[in-house]
Structure 1
Amino acid sequence: MPPERQPMDLKAYTTRARRGPCFVCAFVSGHPDFHVVREVALAMEDCVGAERTHLYQQQFASLMAENGVLAMEPEETSAMAARIRDRIAARGGLNM
């Protein structure tokens, strides 16, 4: 059975996307916050069995949320966060 989905808060996402720095620019310039994003994404791939993670604006179609986003209970979210932290540690921690 596929996980339940809920509508994405497109207004909040749009505001963040328009006011925040460009991910590609910040990543390439070495901004530490954006390298953290990449390391977390790699750990998530390990946890959920994803084949790849799309982080760049050129791959925007993969981020489209017209069909909603996963609805997870707080316990599920906490358990996923713990698995991600474990994978980050197993990969050698955050390289900042």
Structure 2
Amino acid sequence: MDLRAYHERSRVGPCFVCAYLAGHPGFAHETIHEDEHHVAFLDRWPTLPGKVLVAPKAHIEHAVRDLDAAAYTRLMLVVREVALAVEDVLDCERTYLYSLGSRQGNAHLHWHIAALPPGIPYEQQQFHALMTENGVLSRSAEEQAATAALLRAALAARGVLAPPP
């Protein structure tokens, strides 16, 4: 991962979620879940195994002001169910849920779901484990596809979210 290029693209390039949904080259991700309003997909540059992003399909930038209570609740249900599927697939000490981004870069509202593996020293947990500046995992397309298949199966087995349209 070229961190400098990533930062530049997140600030001046197209919205990464909108570009992914539109099928633009260079923005492909392994989809975990998709419904009428939401999408969940594997992070292309994960800092932890099986890291997933969940976003509304509509270009929304603020979780509090831009979503009414019903839309927020639906989004958080998707986040919860995907996080539980991640925990079903990966051994983890804790599952981190967080939303980052700003109007200056990665503006499209999205939630990160990151499973912290057991045994990670405390100094390498929390923010340290989440920052791309501390390194990203090298995952082949085949590894990403296999992880995505396991997560989709776990999500389907949970039976809470509707299958894709």
Instruction: Give the TM interval when normalised to the shorter protein.
Output: 0.5 to 0.7
| Higher normalized helix content (fraction of residues) | 1
Identity value in percent: 40
Structure 1, unpaired ranges of 5+: 1-5
2:160 aligned counterpart, secondary structure: coil
Q: Report the equivalent of 1:70.
A: 137
Deviation digits for residues 50-80 of structure 1 (CA, Å, limit 9, x no counterpart): 12211135xx725322212222111111110
- Say whether 1:88 aligns with 2:155: yes
How far does residue 10 in structure 1 lie from its aligned partner after superposition?
4.2
Runs of 4+ in 1 over 4 A off after TM superposition: none
- Say whether 1:44 aligns with 2:44: no
Deviation digits for residues 67-94 of structure 1 (CA, Å, limit 9, x no counterpart): 1222211111111011001111122231
Change (3 A) 1:38 1:88: same
| Higher normalized strand content (fraction of residues) | 2
Instruction: Determine the C-alpha separation between the residues in 2 that align with 1:7 and 1:38.
Output: 31
Match of 2:86, as an amino acid? M
Conservation of the 8 A alpha-carbon contact between 1:7 and 1:68? no
Instruction: Determine the C-alpha separation between the residues in 1 that align with 2:88 and 2:7.
Output: 27
RMSD, aligned α-carbons:
3.3
So what's the TM-score if we normalise by structure 2? 0.39
How far does residue 7 in structure 1 lie from its aligned partner after superposition?
5.4
Number of equivalences: 83
